[in-house]
Amino acid sequence: MNPFRDVWQSIFRRDPLSTDKGKSELVFLNLWLHIHPAKVHKEHFRVKHTGYLGFLTFYLFLVLVTTGVALMFYYRPHPPEAYQDMKDLRFVVFLGPFLRNMHRWSAHGMVICVFLHMCRVFYTGSYKRPRQFNWVIGVALLLLTLGLSFTGYLLPWDQLAFWAITVGTNIGSYAPVIGPGLRQLLLGGHTVGESALLRFYVLHVAVLPSAVVLLTMVHFWRIRKDGGLSRPLWKLRAEGSPPLVRIGEPAEPELRAVVLPAAREKTYGLMEVVRGKPLFEVVASAEEEEEEKDVVFSYPYAFFREGIALLVTVASVMALSLFWNAPLEEMANPAKTPNPAKAPWYFLGLQEMVSHSALIGGVVAPALMVLALVAIPYLDSNPSRRLSERKWAVWAFTVFALANVVLIIVGTLFRGPGWALVPPWVHIQGAE
Amino acid sequence: MKRRTFLNWGTAGLGTLWAAIGVSLGAVVRFLTPSVYYEPPRNFKIGTPADFPFGPPTFLADEKIFVFRDKEKGFAVASAVCTHLGCTVQYFTSDRRFHCPCHGSVFASDGAVLHGPAPRPLEWVEVTLARDGQLRVDKNKVVSASYRLMV
Ligand code: HEM
Ligand code: FES
């Protein structure tokens, strides 16, 4: 009788990790790990395929939840206490500045990573059949991330926050018919005031994070159901080889028989026993042997790499937070407009467009952009994932992504007082 | 059960369900629309006519309005909220124009847009004389640029 072993075994029922059975059980007997397949393709975990950007986004979200909950212990969503609490977090609370910095920098990082993740999915053609719907979920997650960041922006209740949200919500009120009403509903008033702060807080700490959690679960689940990560571009099969089973379509009869001969030492997960082996991407038979060698247990191969990505994420955020403080300006003052007043940086492209035409730049163009993003997998009927075979799509997306980046850079760095074009290296006397 | 009875009940049931969903959505929107606004009043008194000089408009920062007083024409009140994205405009006596600090909109002294992205002229709001002799401004009532209160 070994009580320690009893306790251990009451928690972990798997076989030892030295065995193949143990390695698979580690994955599928564990609530948190079973989102992984028991085995993965090594090639799919190459940095040059995914850049780990989806992982980074998710980890940043975890950092945000952790630090966000910590901040909640010292934050009251009501003016002027909200601002006083931010001052306390900055100067009084032990570790307050550090946690607040971590929260702020990972919020920015999350917006950046989610955008880059989307770009990577586009360029590797990974939104194509059968993954169309997961792309749509992704677009929803992108919008939710922006929503989280936007609602969080108001919470410090300083001048930056107040005017960014004033300008930002006014952009929305240009939507015909529903715009002004929506803005009023969001703010719970005619201007940014105490009810707006409370509403943004509730959205920020309860509604939007829950939505992100739920959709992330769907996102991950769909990755599995769509046959795992997409095959890296350099592993795409030679042209002209016969298509295999496709999700959502009955398999063609001659293709059903791709079951590999059972190997005795191999552990089979249920999904491998299901008829036809879950091959959603095609492997020509000549490549099959190489394919087999590429498949390894998730433990430790995948977990090790994901762990490194997590460490890198947390370490980078911590390092940034040691050296850079999140901004905190004077308390919000509705009577005094800073010059220029800017929306949060990821909306500055929008603001830049709005400074040219309110309706087209602020409503029509962004609505079309979101619609186009959602529709990409359904409009793009080209089955090829090779960059060279989808010149038009690659070109169009690049223009879209670059236009956004350039507009944001112009809005952030090149717009001075009165929204005049001012390069960042020119200092304007008296401008704050 | 007869086919017809089944279909009738089925239609009625589905109709009720949709109606219930519609009503609930309406209720949610109504719930989120405050019945009381805890914000600076939109209808307020600003003092007696004698408090305001003739000449350049007086800016009231908390109310975000400009009070114009003209010898012949009387009182008029303009909202200081830029019609572009809601920043507070400033009046320059040098050129007798409103300038918005945010994105450079310029408005003439009658509120008309001269430059910049602002899509509409500045709003003129109703000013009336209350019984106690004070001027009362109602931001909920937008009036034309030619509106004047003679006192
Ligand atoms: C469950 C998740 C989250 C919780 C509980 C939470 C909680 C909070 C709280 C209490 C504040 C106010 C204190 C402060 O301003 O620092 C805040 C601020 C903020 N949050 Fe979050 N947050 C969460 C997730 C996110 C996410 C996902 C983002 C963006 C991607 C985000 C972006 C921001 C921003 C930009 C601020 C302003 C931070 C600052 O002033 O330094 N938050 N959050
Ligand atoms: S808010 Fe006045 S010009 Fe934009």
CA of B82 to nearest chain A CA: how many angstroms apart? Answer: 10
Which are the contacts of B36, defined by CB distance < 8 A and separation ≥ 6?
A: none
SS3 sequence of chain A: CCHHHHHHHHHCCCCCCCCHHHHHHHHHCCCCCCCCCCEEEHHHHCHHHHCCHHHHHHHHHHHHHHHHHHHHCCCCCCCCHHHHHHHHHHHCCCCHHHHHHHHHHHHHHHHHHHHHHHHHHHHCCCCCCCCHHHHHHHHHHHHHHHHHHHHHHHCCCEHHHHHHHHHHHHHHCCCCCCHHHHHHHHHCCCCCCHHHHHHHHHHHHHHHHHHHHHHHHHHHHHHHHCCCCCCCHHHCCCCCCCCCCCCCCCCCHHHCCCCCCCCCCCCCCHHHHCCCCCCCCCCCHHHHHHHHHHEEEHHHHHHHHHHHHHHHHHHHHHHHHHHCCCCCCCECCCCCCCCCCCCCHHHHHHHHHHCCCHHHHHHHHHHHHHHHHHHHHHHCCCCCCCHHHCHHHHHHHHHHHHHHHHHHHHHHHCECHHHCECCCCCCCCCCC
Whether B39 sits inside 8 A of A354 (CB atoms) is no
Averaged pLDDT of chain B: 91
Is residue B148 one of the residues assigned to a domain? no
Question: Which of B64, B88, B103 is the mutation pick for testing A, counting most A CBs within 10 A?
Answer: B103
Asked whether the predicted pLDDT for residue A216 surpasses 90, the reply is yes
The ipTM of this complex is 0.84
Per-residue confidence (pLDDT) for residue A284, from 0 to 100: 47
Per-residue confidence (pLDDT) for residue A281, from 0 to 100: 47
Asked whether the predicted pLDDT for residue A184 surpasses 50, the reply is yes
Averaged pLDDT of chain A: 86
> What total number of domains does chain B contain?
2
Strands of B82-134 (E only): list them. Answer: 90-92, 97-99, 106-107, 113-115, 124-129
- DSSP H or E segment with residue B69: strand B65-70
B109 and B61 both lie in a single domain:
yes
| Pocket-forming residues, ligand 1, beta carbon under 6 Å | A 61, 64-65, 68-69, 71-72, 75, 100, 103-104, 107, 110-111, 145, 148-149, 152-153, 155-156, 204-205, 209, 326
Asked whether the predicted pLDDT for residue A1 surpasses 60, the reply is yes
In which band, very low, low, confident or very high, does the pLDDT at B97 lie, cut at 50, 70 and 90?
A: very high
A333 at B interface, C-beta within 8 A = no
Question: In this structure, what are the phi and psi dihedrals at residue A48, rounded to the nearest 5 degrees?
Answer: -75, -5
Asked whether the predicted pLDDT for residue B31 surpasses 90, the reply is yes
Is residue B149 one of the residues assigned to a domain? no
B53 and B118 both lie in a single domain:
yes
Per-residue confidence (pLDDT) for residue B11, from 0 to 100: 95
Ligand nearest to the CA of A355: 2
Is residue B89 one of the residues assigned to a domain? yes
Instruction: Using a pLDDT cut of 70, give the percent of chain A over it.
Output: 86
Tens-digit pLDDT profile for residues A401-412: 999 999 999 988
Report the nearest-CA residue for atom 40 of ligand 1: A156
Average pLDDT over residues B73-79: 91
Q: Structure tokens of A394?
A: 């690659």
A432 to chain B: closest CA residue: B101
Tens-digit pLDDT profile for residues A362-373: 788 899 999 999
B30 and B52 both lie in a single domain:
no
Per-residue confidence (pLDDT) for residue A238, from 0 to 100: 62
Q: Structure tokens of B149?
A: 């209160």
Asked whether the predicted pLDDT for residue A171 surpasses 90, the reply is no
Chain A neighbors of B88, CB-CB under 8 A = 335-337
- Of the listed ranges A258-272, A326-340, A362-376, B17-31, the least confidently predicted one is A258-272
Is residue B121 one of the residues assigned to a domain? yes
Ligand nearest to the CA of A71: 1
CA B77 to chain centre: 12
- Of the listed ranges A116-120, A259-263, A366-370, A376-380, the least confidently predicted one is A259-263
Domain spans, chain A: 13-232+296-419, 237-282
Average pLDDT over residues A90-96: 95
B11 and B56 both lie in a single domain:
no
CA of A210 to nearest chain B CA: how many angstroms apart? Answer: 19
B112 at A interface, C-beta within 8 A = no
B48 and B34 both lie in a single domain:
no
Q: What is the pTM of this model?
A: 0.84
> Higher confidence at residue A265 or residue A201?
A201
The Cα angle at residue A413 between residues A407 and A417, in degrees rounded to 5? 105
CA of A158 relative to ligand 1 center, distance in Å? 15
Average pLDDT over residues A43-56: 93
Q: What CATH number should be reported for the domain whose range is A13-232+296-419?
A: 1.20.810.10
Is residue B133 one of the residues assigned to a domain? yes
Per-residue confidence (pLDDT) for residue A432, from 0 to 100: 39
B52 and B78 both lie in a single domain:
yes
Per-residue confidence (pLDDT) for residue A277, from 0 to 100: 45
Quote the domain boundaries for residue B55.
Answer: 43-143
Find the CATH number of the domain harbouring B128: 2.102.10.10
Average pLDDT over residues A107-134: 95
